[in-house]
Structure 1
């Protein structure tokens, strides 16, 4: 056949569609950066049949940057303003992010006025994001006659020996921090090639196991081998075999050998590792690997919880409300058994085939609840928490996608997990400010986002608290939420008896010992005598809030923030709780030279120290941010307290969250006043919540607990309501004030924080922005005003507050106007270095 015949046949084949034309596809991707637009990349033809919305891909941004991106759209439209780069790699055969999640990402970005890349960055566990690392490789075309310095030669030799070397490894090898000039020089001389090695952070947990090879599964050949080894006096090898047979009943069940035994278990049995290696070489044993879950299997009962009559009634009312309402507020006093109600409802939803998300403000502080749920639900329950490793969080993410975990308990970030069939979201302690993300963006509130997720998935939301947020209680009062109240403590336990000590009077009468009233010390001492436990609450960590020169009044301040430094005696340093700056404690005043430096105020560390002097017989422990930094620190403190190894537990607001101790019969609140007297419209609400929650730790079983509050203002209305446990009384007093001055729940708030390293520039930028906003929104715009702490990390701060009515307003238009005015500021030459932070629904 001639070549012209071939061309005719090929043309005919194309016209018949036997060789269809390859379509060029493009994808719009989300990258984890604060970029206003999605980026478009070209799909290599080899990926055309595999690319899907929601899959992760690797893209190059700029000349060197390698990033993980999520495919948001697949199409055939090339970008008009730039040439699309090709995707570098497709990471997922199936989408790692669902269509529903992408819709949620867009909603969060729009509502909280941030970029979708920031939402992606917050939503995905870091183990699902690729990182790039600069690597050095020997250049085979390098001219070996090129002169090198001694340092360059040493580095090049190491690169040749190891095939490749990371920049971190090179820095360690040379003992230098700044090695980039050396790398640059070697690269210029053509000695090394610098490239980016892309690594997926998630690695499955692999366990090495061993088992007998098939030749030795039967008793006869195994017996012959043992006899032979004994004859040759290879007793260590015999010992390995006998230890294996003791652990794995091969002779009774050959299938048991297929599962084998973890190598580490055999090594722990004190066997000879060299003997094991020999048996592996002889093919008596074989080594293999399996991928296992990082979450240990937990035996569980799966039994229904036994509800009291009031709990059963509350459950039935909740189920009844769910027929007509999507959200129910469960208002249950401390110790009323809300968790049992949650468990009962979760079991019902799981039995129906739907998924459940249980949100807690802080899992590390609610280990008792987690342990209780694990006993009921076992390994079908996933735990999602920032203290877990990247790999553990990725396992839960993948477990939700695969259907392994239909029930997850987690903190606020768990709201972004890839559920596809949610039936119920439980938001426990819904009043907690920990549900709010402060930095970085998105500054979302997981409690509020739960309502959005439920709407997208047609699920129900159950919010629970002993002290609900006024916003949630208002929504219940207005009929938007169902409302169920639990007024009895479980098993008829009584609420604690609360009493006050007026420290102003005690100070005048000289009854105070290191700011401990005589009544407080006597109560703590009596509890120790009775073999009972106490909790002492002070919502300030450190030794003292500040130190002062008694002669000239000098107070040490942070060099980067406008706050005094907190003294920490354990480390003998003064520390800024805003930026982390530290300096050694000064024992001489730098202003007047005096050595009369005095600590002012009381932190948890000082209280613990002085309590040891006042009550030397007391076994004390402290729970605050300083003592709980390590992974299992909280669990260890809680377990020791539960075991009765501690008489008095001293701590901050950590103590208010979900702890339940049988032997705690007394709670002392060291200083209530600094919580109440705070310049915020929610101050009384928060004081009531915090002090009531702490008080609720006392007397949760057969005996009535006692609570003592030290205050200099016992006549305050909020103190009166705490004594009466009258939440609704406080609400009725506060809510008209909120309405009068246009605060939530009657309005929406948007806070703009303007930052600049120059105070005058910050003021001018804030004033210009406020003026521009007022032209469009009028009196809704308040400020600018300096916040309570007006300089943090060398940036001066100014606040603008925007109050927006909830009805008859175009919120989308308002937000667009805010964005436009901010853009004007940021593109003005004078204010180019200004930062504007947008906080929608600030707490």
Structure 2
């Protein structure tokens, strides 16, 4: 008789396993690691789902009363590579084994239709292969050898907006498929990249491409998973979770706009799709391409250190120059009596652009917005002297609070820099911007693209289609409009309030601002004429604003890297966020304090000294529970000991509970709410 260790599909942290079962005679010789099975468990009246992680001919120590595996799923089985990557995810993201395995497993059950309907109803028109520019060809020639040799290589494609990165991806994937290998393309959000998806369906044919996204039903997702698993398709295009596509012979994984925060999962397991892609590719001897006009600081550092290869695309595909950028100093506008949302520069450029029959995009980053305090006269922003992070205004206490170290400060009546009384809480929304467009430009057609308007099914596609057809003259949006949109008739992009993203309470605030402004500006001038961009800001001298206006990535990168190193922020450390939640506020606070004391004894002394908090989380209460937060900066040499301590801590909390009903760990989170 043989035996199998399995991981039970169960939400409880007390049942991580593995659990040992006997293999029944009818399954003898048929089980292998990765198989999905049903097993009797605890006192359940029906068998539960589990995954085999090990098969043994005999046990080192006999176990009495072993129960037998009930049955095996004939269709679903995870590969050895998927199991290995899942184990890596457990270590990297402090998640439970079943949480990592869930990422690779198909959702739902087979659909009753028997055939998956394509989410793209229209038959795509053929997409002709375009000749590569000299720069594109040089990049292709540097990528191809690793692809042909089956050699793992990560290549950063640093290409300006409109440089033709998508055509390069298409031709790399074509070369990959010709070698009999499979390809995965990740895009930040499927609904915002219909043009990219359509090009892949057109170039390769819908029968060879699976499109994975959240709008598929559970049955459709299962069917698509099986199409991929059976090898019926060569290419998967999808958002973050498509990185887990069940291919067995991966040749290339591509992340378009690799800097995007949407590649980071905000639900457990809190994985980074770029890291998972690199880990999977390492096993397969596959290439990874990380494409962006604004690569993340961490990615560029790895390229600079020689751990990643890097190729550049300096010119737009149509040879058009990058847009002409103007910085509008909103302090000056206020001093001159202009209290509207629009600077004179933006107003005049909008008038001229609309008169020429061109379209306008107005960009306002409100996502992740948490009110900060700034001076309208000189641009001063209140920041924590210890953390260098913008303070958040709490109206109830009339205090400015640091969401990293929990220090709070009185709100000054006058600006500490210039003495002005114009120091106040900053806030503006897309609806207000749309109102003022309609007020100043009567008769102009407008549309908003933000999280509110995008909620309705199909609304994003409709808004973008209408804009593409010229039905809408002015598109007003949040960061959704900065993601890969390509409209030839856009002559002007106005960045209404660059300060909002610049002053969120996050060490990445400057990087996000530089990326968002550069990406938003890149939507302008994609046709046959040079576009224009107006950046409105109360901080016109900030290095991120100046670098974005000059399209100067290198100067931004050097300044930002030095600041990160000085303050020991990633990529020079890992930042671990711990959130403890309980129904009783005092219990949550006490639990967080206990965790800090416990960690101070178990962590390396240097790391223990860098525990920040506990403090109330910015999102104080969620799901009826009060939330408290601890932050820990961990240097590379401290990570192994820290990892062991974190796993022990998770088990300790699961065993003791003591009123704590939720404990989450997040490595390098993209949100600190």
Following TM superposition, by how much is the alpha carbon of 1:784 offset from its aligned partner in structure 2, in angstroms? Answer: 1.8
1:789 is aligned to 618
1:675 is aligned to 501
Kept in 2, the 8 Å contact 1:56–1:68? The answer is yes
Following TM superposition, by how much is the alpha carbon of 1:650 offset from its aligned partner in structure 2, in angstroms? Answer: 0.7
2:418 is aligned to none
1:819 is aligned to 647
What are the ranges of 5 or more consecutive residues in structure 1 without an aligned counterpart?
1-22, 128-200, 207-290, 547-561, 566-598
Q: Which of 636, 641, 656 is matched with 1:806 structurally?
A: 636
Kept in 2, the 8 Å contact 1:437–1:445? The answer is yes
Following TM superposition, by how much is the alpha carbon of 1:521 offset from its aligned partner in structure 2, in angstroms? Answer: 2.8
Q: In the alignment, is residue 109 of structure 1 matched against residue 90 of structure 2? A: yes
Separation (CA, whole Å) in 1 of partners of 2:27 and 2:472: 62
1:36 is aligned to 16
- Does the C-alpha gap of structure 1 residues 603 and 377 become closer, same or farther in structure 2, counting only changes over 3 Å? same
- Does the C-alpha gap of structure 1 residues 447 and 24 become closer, same or farther in structure 2, counting only changes over 3 Å? closer
Kept in 1, the 8 Å contact 2:8–2:16? The answer is no
3-state secondary structure, aligned to 2:455: coil
1:468-547 matches, within 5 Å, as 468-513=295-340, 515-540=341-366
1:150-229 matches, within 5 Å, as 201-206=109-114
Following TM superposition, by how much is the alpha carbon of 1:483 offset from its aligned partner in structure 2, in angstroms? Answer: 0.9
Q: Which of 416, 435, 441 is matched with 2:244 structurally?
A: 416
Q: Which of 209, 222, 227 is matched with 1:399 structurally?
A: 227
Kept in 2, the 8 Å contact 1:541–1:626? The answer is no
- Does the C-alpha gap of structure 1 residues 311 and 405 become closer, same or farther in structure 2, counting only changes over 3 Å? same
Q: Which of 239, 257, 270 is matched with 1:429 structurally?
A: 257
1:96 is aligned to 77
Q: Which moved more, 1:537-546 or 1:41-50?
A: 537-546
TM-score (norm 1): 0.68
Q: In the alignment, is residue 48 of structure 1 matched against residue 16 of structure 2? A: no
Deviations 1:717-758 (A, max 9, x none): 221111111111011112122122222222222222222333
2:387 is aligned to none
1:219-368 matches, within 5 Å, as 291=115, 294=118, 298=123, 301=126, 304-319=129-144, 326-368=153-195
- Does the C-alpha gap of structure 1 residues 707 and 815 become closer, same or farther in structure 2, counting only changes over 3 Å? same
Separation (CA, whole Å) in 1 of partners of 2:493 and 2:453: 20
Separation (CA, whole Å) in 2 of partners of 1:402 and 1:460: 22
Following TM superposition, by how much is the alpha carbon of 1:834 offset from its aligned partner in structure 2, in angstroms? Answer: 4.9
Separation (CA, whole Å) in 2 of partners of 1:121 and 1:321: 31
Deviations 1:322-355 (A, max 9, x none): 6776111110011111111111111111111111
Following TM superposition, by how much is the alpha carbon of 1:545 offset from its aligned partner in structure 2, in angstroms? Answer: 8.3
Q: In the alignment, is residue 125 of structure 1 matched against residue 106 of structure 2? A: yes
Kept in 2, the 8 Å contact 1:27–1:43? The answer is no
Deviations 1:417-468 (A, max 9, x none): 21111111111111111111112x1110001111100011111111110000
Separation (CA, whole Å) in 2 of partners of 1:102 and 1:320: 29
**Aligned Cα root-mean-square deviation (Å):** 2.9
Separation (CA, whole Å) in 2 of partners of 1:722 and 1:564: 33
Separation (CA, whole Å) in 1 of partners of 2:4 and 2:35: 14
1:340-739 matches, within 5 Å, as 340-379=167-206, 380-439=208-267, 441-513=268-340, 515-540=341-366, 601-739=427-565
Kept in 2, the 8 Å contact 1:539–1:653? The answer is yes
Separation (CA, whole Å) in 1 of partners of 2:40 and 2:583: 33
Based on CA coordinates, which of the two structures has the bigger radius of gyration? 1
1:759-798 matches, within 5 Å, as 759-775=585-601, 776-781=603-608, 782-786=611-615, 789-793=618-622, 794-798=624-628
3-state secondary structure, aligned to 1:752: strand
When the two structures are aligned, how many residues end up with a matched partner?
A: 610
3-state secondary structure, aligned to 1:661: coil
Separation (CA, whole Å) in 2 of partners of 1:682 and 1:543: 13
Kept in 2, the 8 Å contact 1:383–1:408? The answer is yes
3-state secondary structure, aligned to 1:394: helix
3-state secondary structure, aligned to 2:518: helix
Separation (CA, whole Å) in 2 of partners of 1:508 and 1:297: 54
TM-score (norm 2): 0.84
Separation (CA, whole Å) in 2 of partners of 1:36 and 1:90: 20
2:381 is aligned to none
Kept in 2, the 8 Å contact 1:300–1:378? The answer is no
1:144 is aligned to none
3-state secondary structure, aligned to 1:205: coil
Kept in 1, the 8 Å contact 2:617–2:627? The answer is no
Following TM superposition, by how much is the alpha carbon of 1:396 offset from its aligned partner in structure 2, in angstroms? Answer: 2.2
What are the ranges of 5 or more consecutive residues in structure 2 without an aligned counterpart?
373-392, 397-424
Separation (CA, whole Å) in 2 of partners of 1:790 and 1:312: 49
Deviations 1:232-256 (A, max 9, x none): xxxxxxxxxxxxxxxxxxxxxxxxx
- Does the C-alpha gap of structure 1 residues 95 and 407 become closer, same or farther in structure 2, counting only changes over 3 Å? same
Separation (CA, whole Å) in 2 of partners of 1:450 and 1:760: 41
Which of the pair has the greater relative contact order for Cα pairs under 8 Å at 6+ separation?
2
Separation (CA, whole Å) in 2 of partners of 1:325 and 1:542: 36
Kept in 2, the 8 Å contact 1:563–1:789? The answer is no
Deviations 1:108-133 (A, max 9, x none): 11221111111223332322xxxxxx
Q: Which moved more, 1:819-828 or 1:753-762?
A: 819-828
3-state secondary structure, aligned to 1:635: helix
Following TM superposition, by how much is the alpha carbon of 1:778 offset from its aligned partner in structure 2, in angstroms? Answer: 1.6
3-state secondary structure, aligned to 2:188: coil
Separation (CA, whole Å) in 1 of partners of 2:311 and 2:44: 59
Separation (CA, whole Å) in 2 of partners of 1:297 and 1:715: 49
